[in-house]
Structure 1
Amino acid sequence: MIRKIRKAAVIGSGVMGGGIAALLASAGIQTLLLDIVPFDLKEEEKSDPVARNRIAKAGLDTVIMTRPALLMQPKDVDRIRIGNLEDDFGKLAECDWIVEVVVENLKIKQDLFKRIEAIRKPGAIVSSNTSGIPLKRMSEGLGSDFKQHFLGTHFFNPVRYMKLLEIIPGEATLPDVLAFMADFGERILGKGIVRAKDTPNFVGNRIGVQGMVKAMQLMIDMGLTIPEVDALFGPAMGRPKTAMFKTADLVGLDTLAHVAKNTHDLIPDDEARADFIAPEFIAKMLAAKMLGKKTKVGFYKTDLTPEWKKIRKVIDPATLAHAEYAKPDFPCLAAAKQAKGLAEKMKAIVYGEDKGARFAWKALASNLIYAANRIPEIADTIVEIDNAMRWGFNFEMGPFETWDAIGVKASVAKMEADGFSVPEKIKAMLTAGNDRFYKRGNGTPTYYDFSTGDYQPVKVNANIISLPGLKADNRTTVKTCPSASLVDLGDNIFCLEFHTKMNAINGEIVDFMADAMEYVDANGSGLVIGNQAGGMPGAFCAGGDLAYMAGLAKTGKYAEIEAFLKKAQTGMQTVRYASFPVVAAPYGLTLGGGCEVCIGAADKIVAHSELYMGLVEIGVGLLPGGGGCLNLWKKMTADIPEAVTDVDLTKFFVPTFMNIAMAKVSMSAAEARANGFLGPCDRIVFNRDHLIGEAKKEVLRMVDEGYAPPVNRPLKVVGAAAQGMIDSELYNMQSAKFISEYDAFLARRIAWVISGGDVRANSLVDESVILTLEREAFVDFWKQEKTVARVEHMLTTGKPLRN
């Protein structure tokens, strides 16, 4: 039997249950969301279906209203049906996967699973999102078939955005069920899979919460402030900007405290059990309902002045009063700011000599030792623990990767000098001459395995292509420069990779693209345009090099701007009409020039589901000048059948114009498709790790089908008739103060370009006509003081200026 999940059910419509239902629906799965019948129904409501489904409806409403959005696009909610556990329980018999996300109460879960066992269809998988109650206890007394199809599937919140999914086998779970769920979670839901064991709070929370609570204890003992701790354990240590305490506010202090207490209660023999006892002030905050974001006050809170100015305040653990705070200032932080690369930044902090460095060292050292001591208790290898922390807590490096970065030998010597109890397995590893947890052997990444005392290959899905891994073998990088590289993906397919800051397009990239195209034409069969910059959501390409063009504009070198733009346009056209297939693999921020590469240069797009795509140039007083106006119009109208001759092009013109004039940015790949940036033949992939591999497959498929390059044909445009229509709309928007006078000025010129200029409606024009109009407008905009002001403001603050 081939396992498939056509329909799923989520039992429990709270924050986590709603998030899981939203992810399933966004992935195309018909989903049933169930919850209990309210206890407080009035007599006249007991027969009312709406009243009986009130709790599930509230959960679904929360899914719809939550921001950042839990659904990939609003209409995905149509795949979710709600119900209650009395009237709709029988519908579970139709489901291929049933996920339990109810209250952490053993008896309630046991009773629920007994009911499910009685109606689940043969082969249906049942899983629990619980992390604090052993799976073995939840499935006590149930039949062997149920236990064979029962496991833990522990998502992290918010479910859409957090990559980690821990898969935990029950005492009798079939291997093929585990393998299927791991593949489904990775490939269909886009998650990073960690195989955990049935231990309290599994892997991510066990290691992560120990680190957070231990840091809180040390903060009190050593007299640091909350902002100081967050400054030390933020980006300088490869952690998110939310660091520790801002992260706790986002998660909810009640949730963090529950996990800590639950872990403490369930690990009586843990050598670091005391590390899970939260400081006394945490209990006081809980009693005062200072829970973080959900109550709008936690470790931090934001006050507004009468002038609507936001004032950020932090709590004093001694008084529970909030007050403004200064930027933390430790010598180790200053040294880290000057250091190059994350490893050197970490070393600057943990090997410093000031108070902040001593704190950071003690907190980190205790967490590294704790992680090592948990193998093989919670996971078999260091890889699971590192993946859990990167995917579940958005760390750039997991504990053992961090240990490598700061130097295993040097750090162990410091640990022993400072009185830490270093695990014997670490000492044995060093004694055997192994001073790193990870190495590359014959181009293959390997990890140190405590059970064998040797290095083993890191197992990865065959669909994953790692560009850094390929580039580690110098033979695969066939051409390179400081801004870009051409990497051999095998099978005569190459990858053009940008690696500037935010992967922004500069002059060097434009020149390199021409060289890369010549090389692939002579030596290959196809090209992928993609990269794998770290972090989520990341940036495929955040646009063009504004600083370079601003420098030219300030010195009046407009002819050079025009020449650069023409070279960029020519480069895009060369890629678009190449003799071999080109597939773009965008993800995350794909703005301006990055968007133009995808919609203009590539034959096809294979996009990650988290795609924030748009032509946003009007925000800095410009318009898409690298073919964006031309190619969005082509993309919008490409799928009109030739047989349909009587088409009102204005119906296509307005959304094209609005996308550019309003700088619309999609909040997902699905929304990018709805906006017209992705076509019906473009693909969406939920797992970013698979993106380059899937794009390569698409190129190979096109080659195998006998690829023929597109023909550069004239295209039909709306013409000058569009101007009157747009003018009236802009007048209304300006009168309502929705746009500024300068926005309207820019938008009119953008409409002129997209419509083909001064030609009649439904005229056929060559692509070069619109490209010329783009260049002329682009240069003219640079001559405007308000455009220069917008660009300078963006370069200085990172935020748009409305003038």
Structure 2
Amino acid sequence: MVRKIKKAAVIGSGVMGGGIAALLASAGVKTLLLDIVPFDLKDEEKSNPVARNRIVKAGFDTILMSQPALLMQKKDADLISIGNMEDDFDKLADCDWIIEVVVENLKIKQDLFKRIEPIRKKTAIVSSNTSGIPLKSMSEGLGTDFKQHFLGTHFFNPVRYMKLLELIPGQETLPEILEFIADFGERILGKGIVWAKDTPNFVGNRIGVQGIVKAMQLMVEDGLTIPEVDALFGPALGRPKTAMFKTTDLVGLDTMSHVAKNTYDLVENDEQRDSFVIPEFVNQMIEKKLLGKKAKAGFYKTDLTPEWKRIRKVINMETLEYEEFSKPDFPCLAEAKKAKTLPEKIQAVVYGDDKGSKFAWKAMAWALIYAANRIPEISDTIIEIDNSMKWGYNFEMGPFETWDAIGVAKSIEKMEADGMPVPENVKKMAASGNNTFYKIENGKTYYYDFASQGYKAVEVSENVISLAALKADNKAVKSCKSASLIDLGDDVFCCEFHSKMNAINGEIVDFMADAMDYVDENGAGLVIGNQAAGMPGAFSAGGDLFYMAGLAKEGRYSEIDAFLKKAQDGLMRARYSTFPVVAAPFGMTLGGGCEVCLAADRIVAHAELYMGLVEIGVGLLPAGGGCTNLWKKFITSIPEAVTGADLGAYFLPVFQSIAMAKVSMSAAEARANGFLGPQDRIVFNRDHLIGEAKKEVLKMVDEGYTPPVKRKIRVAGQAAQGMVNAEIFNMQSGGFVSEYDAFLAKRIAFVISGGDVKKNTAVDEDLILKLERDAFVDFWKQEKSVARVEHMLKTGKPLRN
């Protein structure tokens, strides 16, 4: 049989259940969301469907109102139906996948599965999102068929944004069920799959919570402050900005405490069992309901002064009172700032001599030792542990990648000198002459396998292409400081940006021209993409404002125009090239990055796509073909058979997108905004993005690709300008936009509408491109635009003047 998930059910509408339901709906799966009937119903409410569904309705409303959004787009909610576990339980019979997300109570879960067993259809998969209760206990007493279709599927919160999905096989789960869910989770839901064993809190939380609690214990022992620990265990060590304590505030102190206590109770033979005992001051905070973000007070809180000034405060561990704090400063952090690569930053922190370094070394060393000792208890290889921490905790490097970064031999020597117990498996590895956990050979990544005491290739999906591995295998045919051209195989090449935030600078513009020449001579097609670290990351944060600002400051406006002309020519060349060009954007795809995508034949986008033409925020407008190509994207969607279409109806959303600097909050929203067309694709797994873009190139080649013909463009003309100018006047009169905003918006309308021409006039696209350049240069001559750019470069925030 061909297994499909036509309909899924989520039982439990709390934060996690709601998040899973939202993800399934966003992926196009019809989803039934169930919860209990309220216990406190009055007699007159017991037959009222609205009252009986009060709990699940509250969960559904939370899905709709959550910020950041749980749904890719609001209308995805139409795929979610709600009900209660008394009146609607029989509807589970229609479901292909039933996910249990109820309270962590063994008896409740056992009773629920006993109710599900006779109702589920024979092929239905049942999974639990538990993190602390063994699957064996939950499925005790159930039939063989149920157990064969039963497994653990542990999502991480917030479900939409956290990549990790731990899969835990039951003792009798059929291999084909595990294979199917792994593929569905990776390909359709976009998750990174980690195979975990049925051990307490599986992989991610076992390692992650141990690291946090151990660091808390060491902080108390060594007399560090909460801000000091967060400063050390943040970006300097490749960790999120939320570091340890801000992350715990987000998760909830009560949740963290529950995981720690649950683990302590269940791991009697763990050599570091005591590292799950949270410090007493944290217990006191929990008693006082200082639980973190949900309580608006945890390790940190924000107070507002009478002048509405925000003051960040941190809790004093001894008094449990909140105090203002200044940014901590350690010499090791200053050294880390000077370092260029993450390994160099980590080494600067852990091998320094100051108080911060000594603490960071101690906390990290114990975490590395703990991770190595968990193999093969919680996972068979180092891969599962590293991926869990990267995908579940947003670390840039997992524990064993970090160990490589600080040097295995050097760190072992220091651990032993400090009296720390180096794990036997690591000592054996080093003694045999293997001084790294990972290595790259012939474009493949290998990891050290403790069981076989040798290296094995890291298994990845055939859809995954690693640009880093290809470059390590000398597949970069051209390269400069800001970009590379990489051979993806099958005559397809990838133009990769690697400037800061992948901003489009002069070097990239020149390089793209060279890349086009090379592919024209040697290839079948081109992918434009990169694999920037972090989630959501940045495909490209826009144009290089420093370069432009420097030219404007010296009054070299003709050079700005010449640069724009070169950029426009390069992107329009991509548009009309003799081979297919496919852009593969993800995360921040702003300004110039967005313009690159609009010039491509096709876009294969990651589901988390924050795309927009945001130049007005710095007093400019899109002048790399952005105005031209967005307008073309809209009007070329009109079938030729439709005559007399109202161009004003198409003009308005294009104008609003540019004049209001609209940024999509997902690829689905980018499609709704018109930035993605009907032939553009959305991919949920970012690891698959380059591979899927390559497939799209080959598909277009196979279909007999021919370049688009350059034709005149119909524009909305002066009529559209008049319509927009009237609305701008009303907004300015109402104080919604500044006088300068109005000035910029009117010029943007002039450009998009084709200038001083009548409605429905067909013009050469070169005319609109010239209007873009003229407006861009003129804006640079305005003091207020220069002020906006300088403010953005200085603060990272827009200025409204």
Q: Which TM-score band (shorter chain)?
A: over 0.9
Letter in 2 for 1:671: E
Give the 3-state SS of the residue equivalent to 2:649 in structure 1.
Answer: helix
Q: Which residue of 1 aligns with 2:150?
A: 150
Query: What is the alpha-carbon distance in structure 1 between the residues aligned to residue 637 and residue 264 of structure 2?
Result: 60
Shift of 1:357: 1.1
Shift of 1:355: 1.3
Shift of 1:441: 2.5
Query: What is the alpha-carbon distance in structure 2 between the residues aligned to residue 345 and residue 574 of structure 1?
Result: 41
Per-residue deviation, residues 573-620 of structure 1 (Å, max 9, x unmatched): 111000011100000000001101111x20000000000000000000
Give the 3-state SS of the residue equivalent to 1:746 in structure 2.
Answer: helix
Per-residue deviation, residues 202-236 of structure 1 (Å, max 9, x unmatched): 00000000000000000001100000000010000
Letter in 2 for 1:554: K
Query: What is the alpha-carbon distance in structure 2 between the residues aligned to residue 355 and residue 556 of structure 1?
Result: 50
Q: Which residue of 2 aligns with 1:176?
A: 176
Structure 1: gaps of 5 or more residues:
none
RMSD between aligned residues: 0.6
Contact 2:443–2:471 (8 Å) recurs in 1: no
Q: Which residue of 1 aligns with 2:64?
A: 64
Letter in 2 for 1:125: I
Letter in 1 for 2:349: I
Query: What is the alpha-carbon distance in structure 2 between the residues aligned to residue 799 and residue 793 of structure 1?
Result: 7
Letter in 1 for 2:695: K
Q: Which residue of 1 aligns with 2:732?
A: 734
Q: Which residue of 2 aligns with 1:706?
A: 704
Query: What is the alpha-carbon distance in structure 2 between the residues aligned to residue 521 and residue 648 of structure 1?
Result: 39
Per-residue deviation, residues 693-714 of structure 1 (Å, max 9, x unmatched): 0000000000000001000100
Identity %: 76
Per-residue deviation, residues 372-393 of structure 1 (Å, max 9, x unmatched): 0000000000000000000000
Give the 3-state SS of the residue equivalent to 1:118 in structure 2.
Answer: coil
Shift of 1:7: 0.5
Per the normalisation by structure 2, the TM-score is: 1.00
- Report 1:560-579 matches (<5 A): 560-579=559-578
- Report 1:414-429 matches (<5 A): 414-429=414-429
Letter in 1 for 2:484: S
Q: Which residue of 2 aligns with 1:243?
A: 243
Query: What is the alpha-carbon distance in structure 1 between the residues aligned to residue 268 and residue 735 of structure 2?
Result: 64
Give the 3-state SS of the residue equivalent to 1:659 in structure 2.
Answer: helix
Query: What is the alpha-carbon distance in structure 2 between the residues aligned to residue 478 and residue 413 of structure 1?
Result: 41
Q: Which residue of 1 aligns with 2:279?
A: 279
Q: Which residue of 2 aligns with 1:674?
A: 672
Give the 3-state SS of the residue equivalent to 1:352 in structure 2.
Answer: coil
- Report 1:250-265 matches (<5 A): 250-265=250-265
Shift of 1:122: 1.0
Contact 2:565–2:773 (8 Å) recurs in 1: yes
- Report 1:156-171 matches (<5 A): 156-171=156-171
Query: What is the alpha-carbon distance in structure 1 between the residues aligned to residue 331 and residue 755 of structure 2?
Result: 60
Query: What is the alpha-carbon distance in structure 1 between the residues aligned to residue 434 and residue 555 of structure 2?
Result: 60
Per-residue deviation, residues 606-643 of structure 1 (Å, max 9, x unmatched): 00000000000000000000011111111111111101
Letter in 1 for 2:463: N
Query: What is the alpha-carbon distance in structure 1 between the residues aligned to residue 489 and residue 358 of structure 2?
Result: 48
Q: Which residue of 1 aligns with 2:211?
A: 211
Shift of 1:336: 1.3
Query: What is the alpha-carbon distance in structure 2 between the residues aligned to residue 641 and residue 336 of structure 1?
Result: 57
Shift of 1:739: 1.2
Residue 185, structure 1, aligned to residue 160, structure 2: no
- Report 1:36-51 matches (<5 A): 36-51=36-51
Per-residue deviation, residues 646-673 of structure 1 (Å, max 9, x unmatched): 2111000001100000000000000000
Contact 2:482–2:497 (8 Å) recurs in 1: yes
Letter in 2 for 1:626: G
Shift of 1:723: 1.6
Q: Which residue of 1 aligns with 2:369?
A: 369
Q: Which residue of 1 aligns with 2:395?
A: 395
Q: Which residue of 2 aligns with 1:119?
A: 119
Per-residue deviation, residues 281-326 of structure 1 (Å, max 9, x unmatched): 1111111100000000000000001110000000011111000011
Query: What is the alpha-carbon distance in structure 1 between the residues aligned to residue 613 and residue 636 of structure 2?
Result: 19
Q: Which residue of 1 aligns with 2:545?
A: 546
Shift of 1:329: 1.6
Query: What is the alpha-carbon distance in structure 2 between the residues aligned to residue 251 and residue 467 of structure 1?
Result: 33
Query: What is the alpha-carbon distance in structure 2 between the residues aligned to residue 602 and residue 301 of structure 1?
Result: 46
Q: Which residue of 2 aligns with 1:635?
A: 633
Query: What is the alpha-carbon distance in structure 1 between the residues aligned to residue 119 and residue 143 of structure 2?
Result: 13
Shift of 1:56: 0.4
Shift of 1:358: 1.1
Residue 74, structure 1, aligned to residue 74, structure 2: yes
Give the 3-state SS of the residue equivalent to 1:153 in structure 2.
Answer: strand
Residue 687, structure 1, aligned to residue 685, structure 2: yes
Give the 3-state SS of the residue equivalent to 1:486 in structure 2.
Answer: strand
Q: Which residue of 1 aligns with 2:528?
A: 529
Residue 488, structure 1, aligned to residue 487, structure 2: yes
Q: Which residue of 1 aligns with 2:55?
A: 55
Shift of 1:442: 2.8
Letter in 2 for 1:706: G
Q: Which residue of 2 aligns with 1:778?
A: 776
Letter in 1 for 2:728: L
Q: Which residue of 1 aligns with 2:448?
A: 448
Letter in 2 for 1:758: D
Query: What is the alpha-carbon distance in structure 1 between the residues aligned to residue 771 and residue 294 of structure 2?
Result: 51
Q: Which residue of 2 aligns with 1:334?
A: 334
Give the 3-state SS of the residue equivalent to 2:755 in structure 1.
Answer: coil
Query: What is the alpha-carbon distance in structure 1 between the residues aligned to residue 441 and residue 547 of structure 2?
Result: 41
Shift of 1:473: 1.0
Letter in 2 for 1:591: L
Letter in 2 for 1:532: Q
Residue 15, structure 1, aligned to residue 15, structure 2: yes
Structure 2: gaps of 5 or more residues:
none
Q: Which residue of 2 aligns with 1:518?
A: 517
Query: What is the alpha-carbon distance in structure 2 between the residues aligned to residue 197 and residue 596 of structure 1?
Result: 46
Shift of 1:443: 2.4
Query: What is the alpha-carbon distance in structure 2 between the residues aligned to residue 217 and residue 610 of structure 1?
Result: 37
Query: What is the alpha-carbon distance in structure 1 between the residues aligned to residue 197 and residue 709 of structure 2?
Result: 57
Per the normalisation by structure 1, the TM-score is: 0.99
Letter in 2 for 1:485: S
Shift of 1:736: 2.1
Q: Which residue of 2 aligns with 1:650?
A: 648
Give the 3-state SS of the residue equivalent to 2:168 in structure 1.
Answer: strand
Q: Say which of 758, 766, 780 aligns to 1:768.
A: 766
Shift of 1:737: 1.7
Query: What is the alpha-carbon distance in structure 2 between the residues aligned to residue 107 and residue 394 of structure 1?
Result: 34
Per-residue deviation, residues 741-798 of structure 1 (Å, max 9, x unmatched): 1000000000000000111111000101100111110110000000000000111111
Q: Which residue of 2 aligns with 1:502?
A: 501
Query: What is the alpha-carbon distance in structure 1 between the residues aligned to residue 667 and residue 440 of structure 2?
Result: 35
Letter in 2 for 1:322: Y
Runs of 4+ displaced beyond 4 Å: none
Query: What is the alpha-carbon distance in structure 2 between the residues aligned to residue 326 and residue 649 of structure 1?
Result: 56
- Report 1:121-136 matches (<5 A): 121-136=121-136
Give the 3-state SS of the residue equivalent to 2:488 in structure 1.
Answer: strand
Shift of 1:428: 0.8
Letter in 1 for 2:583: A
Q: Which residue of 1 aligns with 2:722?
A: 724
Shift of 1:542: 0.7
Letter in 2 for 1:560: E
Give the 3-state SS of the residue equivalent to 2:9 in structure 1.
Answer: strand
Per-residue deviation, residues 9-32 of structure 1 (Å, max 9, x unmatched): 000000000000000000000000
Shift of 1:339: 1.9
The worse-fitting range, judged by mean Cα deviation, of 353-362 and 33-42 is 353-362
Give the 3-state SS of the residue equivalent to 1:624 in structure 2.
Answer: coil
Query: What is the alpha-carbon distance in structure 1 between the residues aligned to residue 543 and residue 789 of structure 2?
Result: 12
The worse-fitting range, judged by mean Cα deviation, of 338-347 and 458-467 is 338-347
Give the 3-state SS of the residue equivalent to 2:558 in structure 1.
Answer: helix
